[in-house]
A and B are shown apart, each in its own frame.
Chain A
């Protein structure tokens, strides 16, 4: 069975993929769908959903279109989710591979370093980092990457540790391949499945972390984001529920979709689970 066939057997994973594709399309098309900046008040303030057909999801206290905010917020969420995960995976894989392959002192040193990061609560550290380097989209992305690489490093180290004693690695050593080459061409391809699965789930966590930061007012003030929309609307929850409910639903659905995809990838890639009903 091909990979895609196996993936498609999991209904949840398909639904997740469909939702994510919709979110990506909306994010990509935001400037076409809503040519006016999402910060611009264009309607009456505090219009409820469907009160005015021009603003199907209503407007906020300054008359800004909630739907436009959601579309532009999707860009920020996806952007931060993907880039911070990429950075975190890069750091985690490099450190984990070196530690797992070489072992000994190098391993000790790198793992103590990793534990140093693991012992600090991730979100608290992200808050501190963003507060120190004033909140911009770059600093937020990097802060999220910095707090989320340690699990990847741990995972990759474990994989490398077990794979490096296999025959095919021994053979590669015997024929004189260099360490970096063995890591990249022999071990990494064999360890890639769990890394992909972990990374997909990290995207979801990154989106949540960004939303939490924005909710606390530590987001980039010049980028519309879902967390910011909820944070700004939080105070008016009793009067205008739609201000916080729609962005909340957007976060929920997107994170759920990415988790479903992660689950589907896991099922499809993990040979031990083959035959498990999705």
Chain B
């Protein structure tokens, strides 16, 4: 509940009854405003040096190496090179480039999608982007001698709908004399995979695009960054209500998204300053496990839309939760969301489930139903035509089936094991090549071989 109230306080436009309530609560508008004018958090939080970045040092040095080699010391007949940085949202891709360019004294000229105006409606964004690229070879008057790099993070909408236009853009890039950095966000979604649709392998090879892929921010780096944000706030205001527990909460709830985490820090401190609510969680949670407290504390409203980790997804399927309702029951799970969030190949997912489901079932009839479903779902994976459409079914069917049929759930901790990989053994012996695998045992008998890999009934 507390969270809900906190959210309301931002809703100034609201003209119904609730707004009056807020006024009655004596909402300290002035304090909030004063802070906003005296201290621009957004500006301060931008990383100033390499040390401030919450990015793995190897990735930073990768990018720095590329900048050094391709932008600063460029051999004369060297073609301009293209760098592609990929990674999930908020892992510090743009920040890394900007900080490094600042450090190495490189001018960044960034493309931002223009807003269409009436008079140049006829000119598409893509053609204007091409124009931008051809103009960018001229140095800016302010920094004549600096090396320059072009940064493209905004992709015109038409390119996203029609990835073929990317070829023209990349061709322009390779003729425009300056090196180009593309920043492209990885989405964990089967339907939209920007790095792959915009930069397919052939294009990467053709234009020799160098790819650096960032991972989601690790917990250690995240903690460091959140602490830095905290220090910045404490330096500029007199708020210091962010405890270590809150830091942990924020770090674990932001799922590796540094931007989200930093915003949470800011929200937390601005929220509590209006003193509407008890800021500390009730003491009864204090000795419980951390995981529990995460869900209960005030930060709940700020939780990032949770992205399921792989094992988490498997756990959901194998440990279905039910809600009893009027004598019948429903699954307590949004299956559509679950299917969407599974970011790996259905084949792999199904193998994982198949390898582990028995441990979670308590009754042989349930297993039989589940096994039937799993076997059925395999059919969808072998259709090569319309494969895209069938992939979703091959996830839906086993997920639904296993969750529904698990009537006698086994509640104990089980280790998830990976499916076995079986590589076909290829017999390269000319003498036995013509023999079928199933007849090889006779060959052993005849030649009185006692091979160790013989099947022995146990």
Query: Does B bind A?
Result: no
Chain A: residues with CB nearer than 8 A to chain B?
none
